[in-house]
Amino acid sequence: MQVTFLGTSSGVPTRARNVSSVALRLPQRAEVWLFDCGEGTQHQFLRSEFKSSQVRRIFVTHMHGDHIFGLMGLLASCGLAGNPQQRVDIYGPPKLYEYLQACRRYSQTHFSFPMKIHTVEPGLVYEDDDFQVTCTQLEHRVTAFGYRVTERDRPGHFDVKRAQAMGIPSGPLYGQLKRGEVVTLADGRRINGKTLCGPDLPGRSLVYCTDTIFCENAVELAHKADVLIHEATFSHQDAEMAYQRLHSTSTMAAQVALAAQARELIMTHFSPRYAPGNAIQLDDLLTEAQAIFPNTRMARDFYTHEITRREPVAMAAV
């Protein structure tokens, strides 16, 4: 699992930063999931290794323009590509469906691929055999959601040599044993597959929270997450502005990560006011956050971060 930041500015783009969009690459499935799609996201695709045909799911946090103005353009370009494409599922708050339908109607855009729009509510958003996506409502000026992607645990390494030494015939039985099931051999022996497998490989988790001021829902959503992506629109020195606009400061983002016991924090969604030459620099926001939560990084456009697995927990003796 890899996350790549396609836009890290809040409100408007700058020369160095586009507005919000984060791509989650799932290499084992050749899929890309997008979180928000600000204006110019398809241009960021052209400057990256991603292909629009890889996009399978798009998760929208809220209806502010810097998070959705790139959505219609990206979808329209996918449709004009002329290549057969699997269905694209789009998840987001109320009015997202109406917004996209209006864009299609007034621009007379026809999509050559199937698309489904899902209106989300707090709780389960999507799940399959490998992943589960949940969301919760955050605190912003409009309805806004944070998303959590949780990878399911995977069975540990299956000891084939040991199975062969025990005289277990290869074939369908190995599949059952790999899944930790108990099988009965032709000679009457009962074998517990868990005794032939190493510790389960813990699933990884990613949490995306923007736009919001500090809130307990974000802490709960990010509980023990491997990577928390959290907005840090303002410096701690501009906290009053954050409260007025219901955005987070760098210290609020760090406090969420600390309270949630997250492994890593990556800050994004920075105000353009912290430009080179100004009194407060973006590096100052990083220093503020690291004073509270040391394992903090600052995102930049096209920064890619690998989400690593936690160490597996050794299984109890059987």
CB atoms near residue 29 (< 10 Å): 13
CB 134 within 8 A of CB 221: yes
CB 36 within 8 A of CB 61: yes
Closest CA to 113 of 61, 167, 74: 74
Contacts of 224 (CB under 8 A, 6+ apart): 205, 260, 261, 262, 263
Q: Catalytic residue numbers?
A: 66
Both structure tokens of 137: 């409502």
Strand order in the sheet with 264-268: 123-127, 131-137, 145-151, 205-209, 227-231, 264-268, 296-298
Going by DSSP bridges, is the β-strand pair 205-209/190-192 parallel, antiparallel, or unpaired? Answer: unpaired
Q: Which residues, listed in sequence order, are joined to residue 289 by a DSSP beta bridge?
A: none
